[in-house]
Amino acid sequence: MNASPSQPHPAEWTETQGLLPSAERDLPTGRHQLHKEQMMAQIHEDLRTSSRTSPAVPPKRPNPFLRRTILLPAMAFALAGAVVGGLALTGGGADGGTTALATGPALTTRIGTADAKGAPQLLDRISLAAATTSAPTPHQGQYVYIASKVASTYYREDGDDSKVVSDKLHSRQVWNSLDGKDGWLIEAGQTDDNGITLASKVPSAAAYNTLAELPTDPDALLQRIYRQSDAHRDADVPRDQAAFVAIGDLLTESYPPAEVSAALYKAAAKIPGVVAVDDAADATGRHGVAIARENPADGERTEWIFDKKTLQFLGERTVVVKKVAGSELKVGTVVFTSAITDRSIVDANKQIPGQAS
């Protein structure tokens, strides 16, 4: 997305052959069925592919460590909190546990009007803005730092009863080395105050070095994305939706070079079903225009939100736009929402921008 000091989820796509070296990891932070966790190729950051295995089965509580979705069985989520696919999840608390987030009524929103004809033109403008964005080129030893505000909606079970609830909007900070093999995550209510390590023997698809090697020809890039999403997506997730979400994950909690961001937007314009949305708000309430795509299988629409004037990426969200059988989610429910508040290059892991290393 447009690189800027203020700006987002994950997310990260730790795919395997194709976009980057093979690897499996638990990606995205929280959402299964309602927002499934992406435990892909080997675990590292996040990559989101909004999906649910079956609309007739109530979604599970989001994974407490990472955020986003892809398509593995619910059983995979039981591994959270242990060493999964090479990613060590360790907290700094005395008991190694995490603090449960406060929950409240399900988040809801006004649904913006979708325009399929306007999507190519808007994406062309966004791509141009991304290509002309001035951003520092990181050097070896530095880290990509991204701060955001996030919240998710999920089913909470209480004995024999269950209801749809939402997390309290909370902060999330992620650090990742340029090669994607080292990093740190601090997320309020999901990790303890000290956070957890993100360590992997293999780089993630959203690692800066990996992104920098992607083809900048939109057609070649899209072919690669389809190839990788086809290899890992759940059978219930439509092919085009998986590709759209994969691109969003590569643009979210990452810092792609300007030419790569521009190519990813142009590639997204070639995916059937992509629409422009006249109004959408990020997690902090900033309104903008959006590029979106609805997953017909679950009635949820994934939206990338941009400032109306500058076209700077603000955040993203997934909203229910169509009622589907077997789901308790009402139209207008916000399944996941994020807002990027800072995207910077820092000199050390866990260093805050502006802080001496």
Mean pLDDT in residue range 240-266: 94
Confidence of residue 235 (pLDDT cuts 50, 70, 90): confident
Task: Return the higher-pLDDT residue of 152 and 79.
Answer: 152
pLDDT averaged over every residue in the chain: 76
Q: How far apart are CA 273 and CA 296, in angstroms?
A: 10
Closest CA to 354 of 196, 182, 145, 133: 145
pLDDT tens by residue, 116-162: 999 999 999 999 999 998 888 999 999 999 999 999 998 888 777 88
Confidence (pLDDT) at 189: 86
* Phi-psi group of 149: left, alpha or beta (phi > 0 → left; psi -120 to 50 → alpha; rest → beta): beta
Backbone angles phi, psi at 200, to 5 degrees: -145, 145
Confidence of residue 69 (pLDDT cuts 50, 70, 90): very low
Mean pLDDT in residue range 68-78: 25
pLDDT at residue 23 above 50?
no
Q: What are the C-alpha distances in Å from 154 to residues 80, 88, 98, 108, 303?
A: 17, 25, 18, 13, 18
Confidence (pLDDT) at 48: 32
% pLDDT > 70, the chain: 71
Confidence (pLDDT) at 357: 61
Confidence (pLDDT) at 265: 98
Confidence (pLDDT) at 232: 85
Q: Please state at what angle helix 119-131 crosses helix 258-268, rounded to 10 degrees.
A: 170
Confidence (pLDDT) at 133: 87
Confidence (pLDDT) at 155: 85
pLDDT tens by residue, 175-214: 999 999 999 999 998 898 899 999 988 878 889 999 999 9
Task: Return the higher-pLDDT residue of 48 and 186.
Answer: 186
Confidence (pLDDT) at 349: 96
Return the CA Rg of the chain. Answer: 18
- Give the pair of three-digit tokens for residue 153: 């909606």
pLDDT tens by residue, 268-306: 999 999 999 999 999 999 999 999 999 998 999 999 999
Confidence (pLDDT) at 162: 80
Task: Return the higher-pLDDT residue of 56 and 281.
Answer: 281
pLDDT at residue 4 above 70?
no
Q: How far apart are CA 216 and CA 171, in angstroms?
A: 33
Q: How far apart are CA 168 and CA 283, in angstroms?
A: 11
pLDDT tens by residue, 100-120: 454 678 899 999 999 999 999
Confidence (pLDDT) at 103: 61
Is the four-CA dihedral 20, 16, 141, 341 of positive or negative sign?
positive
Q: Which residues pair with 281 in a beta bridge?
A: 287
pLDDT tens by residue, 300-351: 999 999 999 999 999 999 999 999 998 889 999 999 999 999 999 999 999 9
Tell me if 180 sits within 8 A of 209, measured CB to CB: yes
Confidence (pLDDT) at 161: 80
pLDDT at residue 78 above 80?
no
Angle at 38 between CA 57 and CA 303, to 5 degrees: 85
Confidence (pLDDT) at 202: 83
Closest CA to 285 of 123, 131, 107: 107
Quick one: three-class SS letters along the chain?
CCCCCCCCCCCCCCCECECCCCCEEECCECCECCCCCCEEEECCCCCCCCCCCCCCCCCECCCCCCECCCCCCHHHHHHCCCEECCEECCCCCCCCCCCCCCEEECCECCCCCEECCCHHHHHHHHHHHHHCCCCCCCCCCCEEEEEEEEEEEEEEEECCEEEEEEECCEEEEEEEECCCCCEEEEEECCECCCCEECCCCCCCCCCHHHHHCCCCCHHHHHHHHHHHHHHHCCCCCCHHHHHHHHHHHHHCCCCCCHHHHHHHHHHHCCCCCCEEEEEEECCCCCEEEEEEEEECCCCEEEEEEECCCCCCEEEEEEEECCCCCCCCCCCCEEEEEEEEEEEEEECCCCCCCCCCC
58-62, 78-82, 269-273, 288-292: the lowest-pLDDT one? 78-82
Amino acid identity of residue 355, one-letter, is Q
